[in-house]
Chains A and B, each alone.
Chain A
Amino acid sequence: MTLASDPPKEGFRLSMLIYDTRFRSITIQVVVLLLFLAGLFWLLNNAYVNLEAKGKDFNFSFLWSRAGYDIAQTLIPYTNDDTHMRALVVGLLNTLLVSVLGCVLATLVGTVVGVLRLSHNWLVARLMTVYVETFRNIPLLLWILLMGTILAETRPSPRDFRFTDAMREAGQTPEASMWFFDTIAVTNRGTSVAAPVFSNSLGTVVLPGNIPLSLNALVLMVVLAASFFGWRLLMRRAKALQEATGVRPTTWWQTPLVLFGPAAVVSVLLGLHLDYPTITRFDFEGGFQMLHSFTALLIALTVYTSAFIAEIVRAGIMAISKGQTEAAYALGLRPSRTMNLVILPQALRVIVPPLISQFLNLTKNSSLAIAVSYMDLRGTLGGITLNQTGRELECMLLMMLIYLTISLVISSVMNIYNKSIKLKER
C-alpha cells in the first residue's frame, strides 16, 4: 500500500475549455478568429453578391484603356490618348510632389515657430502662440479654400499684364507688372517664373515609360554631385591637417570654387540662360508655370501641419533638462549654438516619432486637393477615371492600397532615421 495515491486521472471535459485557465485563452482566440473570419466572409460575400446583382464583374483591365481626359499639371508627359494607368501615375506623382514639398516646408516652418514660441521675447512668443492656435484649430479644408480664393481674387488677370505698342504710344502703363526684373508673374491663375534653359542641347534620352530626361540636366547633376564629394574631401583634408598641426588651412575661398565652379563652367558651355514668361493671347507662356491649385494646396498643407509640428518641437525642447542649457552656458556657448549643438540634437529623439504621424497626416490630407481642383491621385484615379469607367470598387480599393503603401514607406523610412539618432547604448 502506498501512502501517496496517484493523482486523479484527468479526463477532458468540454467545460474545461471555459473554466480551465490552461485552455481558456486558446478558446477565446479560436472564437475571435472564427468571428473575424465570419465578418470577412460576410464583407466579401456582400461585395460579390451585390456586384453580381448589378451585373458587374471585378477586374482591372480598364486601367489599360484610353483615358480620354486631360490633366492640367503633369510631371511626366501625358495626353488624353494615354491609358488610365498613366493618368493614375500622373496623379500619384502629383500627390507625392505636394506631399514631399509639404513635409519639408512644414518641418522647416514648424521648427522655427516651435523654437520661437519658447523665445524670451514676449511679443515673438505670443505671436507664435497665435500662429499655432489659429492654424491648427481651423479645419484644413477651409484653409485650402481660403488660400485658393485669396490667390484667385487678389491677383490681376493675365490680360492686365499686357503692354501693347498702342498703350506705349498713348503713354499708358499696364495695370499689373511682373516682379524681380520681369522674372516672376503672379496672375489669378498661377505663377510663372523665368526658367533656366540651355541653348546647346546634348540631346534627350527617353526612359522606359516614355519619360524624357534631358542630358544637359543629367550632366549638370553629375557635375554638382562630383563637386560635392570634392568639397567633402577638401573638408576632410582640412580637418586632418588641423588635428595634426593645430592650424586650420584657409578654405573659405576654396569652398564656393569647388562647389559651384565646375557647374558654372558647364552651364556657360551649354549656354545657360533664362526663359522669361511672356504674355500671349490668353495667358503667360514660357518659363516655369505653377497653377494656383498647387500653390494654394501646398501653402495650406504647410501652415496647417507646421502648427502641429511647432508644438511637437516645443515639447521636444522642453523635454530636455534645463541642466543641459546651463551646462552649455557654463562652457561659454552662445544661446544660438546651445540650441543648435546641444538642445536640438537631443530633442530630436523626442520629436521624431510624433513627427512621423504628422508626415502621414499631411500626405493623406493632400487628398483634399480636389477642393481647388489639383489633380492628385484622388482627382485622377478616384475622380475622373472612377466616374468615366464606373469601376467604383476597383478604383477605391486601388486608391486605398496606394495610400497605404505610401504611408508605410514614409513610416519605415522615418523609423530608420529614428533608429539612427537614438541614444546609442553600449
Chain B
Amino acid sequence: MKKSVFFGSLVLAGLAAGVAGASTLDDVKARGELICGVNPGLTGFAAPDANGNYQGFDVAVCKAVAAAVLGDPMKVKYVPLTGETRFTALASGEVDMLSRNSTWTFSRDTELALDFVAVNYYDGQGFMVNKNLGVSSAKELDGATICIQTGTTTELNLADYFKANNMSYTPVNIADDAEGQQKFLAGACDSYTTDASGLAASRATMPNADEIVILPEIISKEPLGPAVRHGDNNWGDVVRWSFYALVAAEEYGVTKANLEEVAATTMNPEIKRLLGLEGDMGAKIGLDNDFAKRAILAVGNYGEVFEANIGASTSIGLARGLNAQWTQGGLMYAPPFR
C-alpha cells in the first residue's frame, strides 16, 4: 500500500512577544531575590567592601526594599551599572530597581519612562581641582580640561554653565567614577566634575586628599533617588514606602537598636501604624504589616544610614545640610503613614 505523505500546515505559533506580564513585585517574590542596579564603585554610596559585599548609602535602599519584600536584606543581587548603561538596564528589565545616585529630571521621568519614587540625597554639581593649580573658583576654569562622566545630567549642566559664563573647556568623557579619579590623578584633566557628594566620596579615597580642593560653586540641583520602570505603580509604591519608612523612623526617633522597645511601649498611633501594630498598611501594597519594621531593622533609620556611610564620622565626612529632617531645617520629609 502506498504510503501517502500529508503536508502539515506551517504553524506560526508562539509569536506572541515575551512581554513581562506579571508585576515586578510578583517577579521579585517568585525569584526570592531583588535585583538592584548600583554604582560600580563610589565609596560611601555603593562600593564592594573587603569581602566583596556591596555597602553604602544607595545600597541601603536596596537592602531596605529586600527586607520589606522578602524579609531578608541579604537577598539582593547587585548589578553594577555605568552612567551610560543604567537606564537601559532598568528599562529592559535587567534590574528591578535602580539605586544609583541618579538625578531626577523631567525628561528622565517622561521620555525615558522612569519613575523616581523619592529623593534619598539632595545634591548639586561641583568641581574638584588640585591645589597647585591655584584655582579658587569655578569661574576661573576658562580653557581647562575637565573630566566628566558621560551619559549624566552633569554633562549637560557643565555645558550650560560654561556657556552661561562665556568660558570654554575641553571635555574628557569617562565611563565611571573610578576612571574619573584615575584620569584626574594622572593629570589628564585639570578638574573633575560630578555631584558634590560624589566628589567628597572620591576625594576620601585619594592618596593625596589634602592636596585636592572642592570648589565652592554648586552649579546645579541634583536630587538623587531610587528609580523604577514607569507603569508598574504598585512596585513604585513598595520602593517608595520602604524608603520613607526609614525617613519616618528617624523623625519619630525609632532606631535599629530601640525598635523592639519602642514597638512594645509606644502610644503614638503614627509610630504604631509605621511599625505595623495598627491598621493594615502593608496589605495595601501587597506586603505584610511588618514590612517597614523589617526595613528599619535591616539598615537602621535614614539618619543612621547617613551617618554610617557618608556622615561626619566617616572618611567622606558629609554634613547633613539639605538632607537633614524637615524638623531640623532640611528637606527630608516623609509623607504621613496613614
Contacts and interface: CB of A to CB of B under 8 A. Distances in A.
Interface stretch (B51-59, B62-70, B155-163): B155-163
Interface string A358-371: 00000000000010
Contacts of B143: 280-283, 285
A50 B92 CA distance: 9
A390 B112 contact: yes
B15 A188 contact: no
Interface in A1-38: 13-15, 17-19, 31, 34-35, 38
Contacts of A293: 172
A70 B113 contact: no
B171 interface: yes
Interface string B164-180: 00000111111100000
B261 interface: no
Contacts of A281: 142-143
B19 A68 contact: no
Given A152-B188, A384-B173, A282 B145 contact: yes
B256 interface: no
A173 interface: no
Given A46-B17, A384-B151, A188 B145 contact: no
B173 A49 contact: no
Contacts of B155: 69, 384, 388
B230 interface: yes
Contact of B175 (A34, A56, A283, A370): A370
Given A373-B174, A387-B84, A17 B7 contact: yes
A153 B5 CA distance: 74
A54 B231 contact: yes
B159 A49 contact: no
A278 to B, nearest CB: 12
Interface in A352-398: 370, 373, 375, 379, 383-384, 387-390, 392
B216 interface: no
Given A157-B187, A373-B172, A49 B151 contact: no
A38 B12 contact: yes
B4 interface: yes
Interface in B164-217: 169-175, 183, 186-190
Contact of A54 (B4, B91, B108, B188): B91
A38 B15 contact: yes
Nearest to B231: A55
B186 A152 contact: yes
A72 B144 CA distance: 12
B186 A70 contact: no
B335 interface: no
A153 B183 CA distance: 10
A84 interface: no
A80 B5 contact: no
B18 A70 contact: no
A277 to B, nearest CB: 13
B91 A45 contact: no
A45 B172 contact: no
Given A49-B17, A55-B113, A384-B151, A69 B172 contact: no
Report whether over half of chain B's contact residues are helix, strand or loop; otherwise say mixed: loop
Contacts, number: 130
B49 interface: no
Interface in A41-57: 41-42, 45-46, 48-50, 53-56
A86 interface: no
B156 to A, nearest CB: 5
A71 interface: yes
A293 B87 CA distance: 27
Contacts of B150: 373, 379, 383-384, 387
Contact of A390 (B111, B142, B169, B172): B111
A389 B5 contact: no
B221 to A, nearest CB: 17
Contacts of B151: 383-384, 387-388
A383 B171 contact: no
Contacts of A49: 16-17, 19
Contacts of A13: 4
B83 interface: yes
A50 B17 contact: yes
Contacts of B170: 72, 283, 291
Contacts of B17: 42, 45-46, 48-50
A125 to B, nearest CB: 39
B137 interface: no
Interface string A141-156: 0000000000011000
Interface string B125-166: 000000001000000011111000011000110111011000
Given A285-B143, A384-B155, A392 B88 contact: yes
Contact of A70 (B20, B88, B171, B231): B171
Interface in A377-423: 379, 383-384, 387-390, 392
Nearest to B187: A157
A99 to B, nearest CB: 20
A346 to B, nearest CB: 47
Nearest to A382: B84
Contacts of B113: 54-56, 390
Nearest to A38: B12
A98 to B, nearest CB: 16
A153 B186 CA distance: 7
Given A69-B155, A283-B143, A387-B87, A34 B190 contact: no
Contact of A50 (B6, B19, B87, B88): B19
B338 to A, nearest CB: 31
User: 9 closest Cβ contacts across the A-B interface?
Assistant: A387-B151, A390-B112, A49-B17, A46-B17, A80-B159, A373-B173, A157-B187, A15-B5, A282-B144
13 contacts: A46-B17, A50-B17, A54-B113, A54-B230, A55-B231, A70-B169, A80-B163, A280-B143, A282-B143, A282-B145, A285-B143, A373-B173, A375-B173
Given A14-B5, A370-B175, 6 more contacts: A49-B16, A50-B19, A53-B19, A72-B171, A282-B190, A373-B150
